[in-house]
Every structure is written in structure tokens, then in C-alpha cells.
Structure 1
């Protein structure tokens, strides 16, 4: 049985929705369990948190240079920094015409902030308390705002970068993102302003927000994220490559400006190019004949203008 382009696109969207639904449900279930344990002051969890935080606090007191460096890293990776990064990305996407993708990016920051305080206020968990603290933070402890903001921002940036990268680039991007999240999250524990379970709660809350927003956008505008990702790829592609690829296509082929399917026009056939991170991420190959179609260099005769070698 042969599938049409529309049916293939619908099938791919269904697969993406299934993946994001599984991510959201898994994170939400784990977050619910962890919240219940925190709220009920479950002894094993409380003992684990207290033992870990006591050890890191003792180390911080005896190593002032380490503590100062940890505080600096925590400030650099703070919630304001992460939201500014998402805001800049959303503004750039809006300016190049990827409006749905820009809204998705901005929603990650805004809704993430609302969910954070929607959890902090009712749970109202106290932060670690020491007679000789090395750092200070205000507000309830659970979940960690630094951990949640870092996870949301790094996941969104990797998500945006994914289609343009090859396998090595994707691996490096994921490694850098994971390292950044772990480092920022660790600083909050090392400085004694969060329990370890607060950090885990921040990671899980970020997963829920990421999944819910992505599912909502896919249901609201099916295929729009795929089109915008291809639009970003087209706008950021080197100009020479765009000329070669564009010049190599017949004028009636979908994908040219003004034709159905072109990413600038939000064409429908861009949906079939993939989801995310399930998008294929493959750039169109540049046919060799495209070079010839650009014409001979100025001042040199073309093939039809050259004199016949057999002419007298």
C-alpha cells in the first residue's frame, strides 16, 4: 500500500506526538511522586538530602576559592541569564519569519516561570539552614529554579540546533547541554541553598513544561514547527548555496520562492521533510550541473559563442 504525502506527514506527526506525550507523562508521574515524598517529609529522602548537603557545606567552608568559583558559575547560569537566552532566540526567530517557532521558544520561558512558582508557593519547602552559610537565596526551595531554567533553555536550544547539525554536531550539542545543566544544578547544592531533591524536581518540571508546550503547538498548528524549522534552515544557509540549490531546480518544482512547499511560504510539503528532533536534518545536495547553469565568467565566451575550430 502506497502512502500519499499527506498521510506520511500525518503519520510522522502522530509519532512525534506519541514521543512527546510519553516524555510528558513520564516526567509528570515522577514529579508527582517526588512532590508527594517532599510534602510528606519522607524520612529516607530527608536523610539523603541532609547528609549530602552537610557534606557539601563542610567542603565549601574549608575551600573558599572553590566556593567563590561556584558562586560565580551559579550567577552566570542563573534564571535571568537563561530567560534572556530564550528571549533573544525568540526575537531572532520572529524577525526571520519563524513566528510559530518564536512563540514556542518564548512560551518555554514564560510558562516555565509560571509553573515554577505554581509549584514553589503551595509546596513551600524550606531551604537548608546553616549557622554559617556560604550563600543565600530567597523563596521556597522546591523545585530549583536554576535547575529548571537551565534544563528548559538547554533543551530548547538543542532542539533548535538539531536539524542543522550532523551526527557529530548533535552529539557535541547534547554533551554541552547536559554538562551545563549538571554544572548549574550542582552549584545550588554545593552552595547549600537547595536540597538535591529540589534539583531533581527542577529537571522533571522542565520536562513536563517542554513536552506540554510542544504537544499544544503541534495540536494547535499541525506541521507549523516543521515548516518553521525548515524556514530557519533556509534563512541561515549560506547565500551561495541557496543560489546554487535554487538555480538547479526547474521553475515548476516545489520549493522555489513563490511556489507551494517553499519554506519561505510555509509550504505544505515541508511537513514531509520531518519532525523534530525527528526531522531528517539533511541539507539538499548541490547538483554539479548547477555550477554550469550559473553561466560562464563575465568576459569569456560561452559554449555557443566560441568560434568553430574547423572554420576556415
Structure 2
């Protein structure tokens, strides 16, 4: 009797789906917990929000130059800028033939925008109010649109770069993205237009959107994202070797290369 291993094989696509499904479920659960605490007025969270916001407002009022710099950074890293960056990226991907990847990027922007306003209108949380505000913003507070949009945009851009860069490049890209997300999000409660928990909710909502959109695209078009990533690599990778070959002076043929033409090729192989 021959025994065979009947356990299912876990493919890279399965791990990819599981990873993003876990991200979406965990972020959604944490967001729901945070929103419930906000809605029920849980005193430790409400007290922390108020203490941090009041302290930062006093600091912002006393340091006007620093506050103006933070306001400028918050405006530059706002929702319009972030979603415009995703829109330009989606158009570029479409033009080079990576259509599914372009739709994935566009869906992240659109679902993030729609989910942001749906959540805001659903909870209707008031923003912080001061007699001498240093900045103004309209609409409900929860979640922070700046925090949500910056997290989605930076994660998408790092994801597009990930297969094309090495270890040091990945560390740099992740560091820059993390610092950008932290700076944009923290600028909102520093300026007194959001509670700190609004910013945390925005980051959790962004994780939910990133994971759920990726899972839906993978289920609808299995393997299409991976194929488009390879297509982007083929269309955009630098032709360094071709340039080096074209600028290298030709070698004089010898008896050895005449007998073996492949030996004179830069790679030692005929193409």
C-alpha cells in the first residue's frame, strides 16, 4: 500500500490572500471597537483625547511659526493631493498595459473616498472646538480623511515599488512612507481639527480598505495582479546592460572566437 500526502498545497497566491484578508479583518475589528468606545463616551478615551488636544492647542497658539509650517504640510499632504497621486498612478499603469493593477489603484482611491464619507456621516462626531482656533475644517470628525488618504496612498505606492527595489530600497521606502503617514495624521490633531482617536480610526479604516480591495480583486481576477506587476517590471526596468553593450568597443576576432561565436558575446551566449 502506497501512502500519499493528501494535504492541500498552500500557494503564494493563497498566502497573499490570507495576509490581506487578515489585515482587513483585524483593522475592521479594531476600528469597530474604537468607534464603539467613542460613541459610548468611554471616559478614559474621552479624557485622553481632551487632554492631548488641549495641550497641543496651547502649544500651537504659542508657537505660530511652527503652527503655520504644520498647516502648510497638512495642506500639501491633504486628501486631494493623495488621491490625485493615486489617480495619476492609475492612468500611467493603464497606459503601459497594466489594466488590472490600474483598476486596483483606482479602486483603492475610490473606495477610500467613499468609505471615508460614509463613516463620517454614519458617526457624525463633532470636531474639537476652541474659542481661539488655530485652524478650521468642516464636516464630522471620525475618521480623519487626511490620515486615511495618506495611509492608503503611501501603502499603494510602496506596494508598487516593492518588487522592483532591493532590501535597502524597501527599508527606505517603508521609512519614508511611515514618517509621511505619521506626520500627516498627527498634524490634524496638532492643529486642533481632529481628536487623536479620529486619526487612529483613519489609519484603521485605511487598513480595512487596502486589505479588502486587494482580496476582492484577487478573487475576481486570480493571478492578474501578479501578472501586471511583472508587466510593469518589464516595461520600466532600466536597460543598463544594453547601454553597456552598445558603448563597449568591439573586440578583434581571434582564432578562439572565430571557432566559437558565442565566446565573443558579452554574456557568452547567442541571443
TM-score range, shorter chain: 0.7 to 0.9
Q: Which residue of 1 aligns with 2:189?
A: 189
State the TM-score, normalized to the length of structure 1.
Answer: 0.76
Distance 1:237 1:155 in 2: 21
Distance 1:242 1:119 in 2: 52
1:88-167 to 2 correspondences below 5 Å: 88-167=88-167
Gaps of 5+ in 2: 260-271
Distance 2:134 2:30 in 1: 31
Q: Which residue of 2 aligns with 1:205?
A: 205
1:14–1:242 CA distance, 2 compared to 1 (3 A): farther
Distance 1:221 1:172 in 2: 31
SS in 2 for 1:142: coil
1:1-312 to 2 correspondences below 5 Å: 11-241=11-241, 303-304=257-258
Query: Post-superposition shift, 1:241?
Result: 3.9
SS in 2 for 1:304: helix
Cα RMSD after superposing both structures: 2.5
SS in 2 for 1:128: coil
Gaps of 5+ in 1: 245-290, 306-312
Higher relative contact order (CA 8 A, sep 6+): 2
SS in 2 for 1:222: coil
SS in 1 for 2:11: helix
Residues 140-172 of structure 1, C-alpha deviations (whole Å, 9 max, x = no match)? 000000000000000000000000011110011
Query: Post-superposition shift, 1:297?
Result: 6.1
Q: Residues 144 and 201 of structure 1 are in contact (CA less than 8 Å); yes or no, is this contact kept in structure 2?
A: yes
More helix by share: 2
